Amino acid sequence: MAREKKPVHKVQMTDGKRNIIQQLLQEYDIQSAEDIQNALKDLLGGTIKEMMEAEMDEHLDYEKSERSDTDDYRNGYKPKRINSSYGSMDIQVPQDRKSTFEPQVVKKRQKDISDIDQKIISMYAKGMTTRQISDTLEDIYGFEASEGFISDVTDKIMPQIEDWQNRPLSEVYPVLYIDAIHYSVRDNGVIRKLAAYVILGINQDGHKEVLTIEVGENESSKYWLSVLNGLKNRGVRDILILCADGLSGIKEAITAAYPKTEYQRCIVHQVRNTMKYVSDKDRKPFCADLKTIYQAPTEEKALDALERVTEKWSEKYPNSMRSWKQNWDAISPIFKFSTAVRKVIYTTNAIESLNATYRKLNRQRSVFPSDTALLKALYLSTFEATKKWTMPIRNWGQVYGELSIMYEGRLAE
């Protein structure tokens, strides 16, 4: 889907604008585009000052040149540095004796008038580090933004993340995927590897939906049970098929939380794990042989193919096929379905495009300063990636129809 273009500003000249421009050229001796920027910056500061003076007049109920019997009066100015789209500038904020003046054009404690918060969050979502964002703001806008300031800005989305993690979900998901990406995170000066577990569902309309992101390090049936119970508490009463790699304890957790759910081990991950044992020169013929297993029309034929492949390669690679036999109960559910359904569940392709976005974070940042920083980056990246998810997955009508027949009653509204 093509990215929506922002509207282009069309300049409409009037006599009033022409007079202002002529005065601007005379006042500032403008010779270049940079001179224009400096002039506008100066005018912005002056305009803010005049607007604050008008606000003070209204607050005190008399103008600067008038006398008044009120016990509150002007009390000089207080310098303040603010950031704008034209860079940093120093302004003078009028003060009153009772300190009751509340300026509105630039509020108390407000240090930015350029919507820079949204720019920072957008850059953070694209995987930029706080240092990179700080340097970019310096280059483009000409004002300094410390890494601490940038971190404070991005921290403002933490309540949004909490709301998102706890939002109500659909009652039934025909297909659910769980996948993990690993990141390096600093914890009290020690760098640890943490996994970000992404849970993505396909709802009954065929649209992809990221249900949650969990950051952790210890996989276990207890851990996964808490994750799945979290989905139950948010309204998910049934999952037809759950696709995942061989996550520790996931099978036991599914049995406990969703006993009717079909657990399908990701075939692509299964193949990748097998290829770890195989030399480069044998990878192509070995992969071709593995296809005869997972693309077999029935489970019986798949088992025959499994025996042939094992016999062919076991002497050269004795450990390569062991996991296929050990995990057959989680591999074999795929043979119940037609080709259309298999294309949806045999791989985590639906989640791979999302993972590609997440992996960019690893390329931008070798180490995250905290698990909170990692969660913020993942959350923002999720929204960047899912903007394009406007259409249902391919052939969903056929897939949903088959699943409806196989799981009659469970997909009923």
Q: Mean of the per-residue pLDDT values for the chain?
A: 83
**What pLDDT is recorded for position 247?**
84
**What pLDDT is recorded for position 203?**
93
* Residue, of 203 and 126, whose pLDDT is higher: 203
For 276-307, what is each residue's pLDDT tens digit? 889 999 999 999 999 999 999 999 999 999 99
pLDDT band, very low/low/confident/very high, at 142 (cuts 50, 70, 90):
low
Distance, in Å, from the CA atom of 271 to the CA atom of 346, rounded to the nearest integer, reads 11
Give me the residue spans of the domains in the chain: 43-60+72-114, 115-167, 172-407
Mean pLDDT for the stretch of residues 155-177: 91
* Residue, of 171 and 22, whose pLDDT is higher: 171
Is 339 exposed, middle or buried (CB count within 10 Å of its CB: 0-12, 13-18, 19+)?
Answer: exposed
Distance, in Å, from the CA atom of 340 to the CA atom of 309, rounded to the nearest integer, reads 26
pLDDT band, very low/low/confident/very high, at 220 (cuts 50, 70, 90):
confident
pLDDT band, very low/low/confident/very high, at 348 (cuts 50, 70, 90):
low
**What pLDDT is recorded for position 408?**
79
Question: What is the phi/psi pair of residue 249, to 5°?
Answer: 85, 0
| Contact criterion met (CB below 8 Å) for 216 and 197 | yes
Task: Give percent of the chain above pLDDT 90.
Answer: 30
Distances (CA, A) of 361 to 72, 116, 183, 213, 379: 55, 22, 9, 15, 12
Sign of CA dihedral 166, 168, 172, 177: negative
pLDDT band, very low/low/confident/very high, at 3 (cuts 50, 70, 90):
very low
Q: Strand, helix or coil at 207?
A: coil
* Residue, of 115 and 355, whose pLDDT is higher: 355
For 378-398, what is each residue's pLDDT tens digit? 888 888 788 888 888 888 999
Does the structure show a pLDDT above 90 at 373? no
**What pLDDT is recorded for position 4?**
52
**What pLDDT is recorded for position 86?**
66
Sign of CA dihedral 117, 123, 127, 130: negative
Does the structure show a pLDDT above 60 at 332? yes
Angle between helical axes of 147-155 and 130-141 (0-180°, round to 10): 110
For 230-273, what is each residue's pLDDT tens digit? 999 999 999 999 998 888 889 999 999 999 999 999 888 899 88
Does the structure show a pLDDT above 60 at 6? no
Mean pLDDT for the stretch of residues 103-128: 75
